[in-house]
Structure 1
């Protein structure tokens, strides 16, 4: 007698092992950054640099201007995120990006990845 396979049946242990072995390079790097604590250090460095160069104040001003234009009661956080995120990403200074990239590269070399 043949058993019907079920879509809801959990995967076999072998399938789970295969999925774990197939992590992308980006996922592996992210795991190493988190385990070492380097990700938090990089985030803190980014915060400091963005404050130093005035980026944070610029983003605050853009949020205030958008809120004033639309009316305080007509703006949601999602509205702000949708409008400000592309501008914010595009306005991060190249020097900040370069510094972070260099720190990540140094980490990868020291972690032998």
Structure 2
């Protein structure tokens, strides 16, 4: 059965055709829209700036140096450092940075979803 150019096939038509379509999750759709609009890069820059301003980046640098000092420079790999520091880094992101990012994403979704 041919599908109209103006409307997507109904779920019944898909089953009848035997075709399986990959469904995007809401998160994936939002990510695509963020990338297409260039807003994702803007948000990444915002987060980088806020983390520097809050001192988070310096804290992570210190944590990395302490771990290397404790283990010995020759006994630490980049992969190990990432594995050890990542949970600390994620847990220590300031709440106001998280909230600002969330607000910006919500505003973006609202502007894209508005007719």
TM-score by length of 2: 0.81
Question: Which runs of 5 or more structure 2 residues have no equivalent in the other structure?
Answer: 1-16
The corresponding residue for 1:7 is none
Matched residue, 1:55: 56
How much does 1:14 deviate? 3.3
Give runs of ≥4 in structure 1 deviating > 2 Å. 12-15
Specify every segment of 5 or more residues in structure 1 that has no aligned partner in the other structure, as ranges: 1-11
Distance 1:26 1:68 in 2: 40
Q: Highest relative contact order (Cα 8 Å, sep 6+), 1 or 2?
A: 1
Aligned-residue Cα RMSD (Å) equals 1.6
1:49-103 C-alpha deviation (Å, 9 max, x unpaired): 0000000000000000000000000000111111100000000000000000000
TM-score norm. by structure 1 comes to 0.83
State the 1:13 CA deviation: 9.5
Offset, 1:32: 0.3
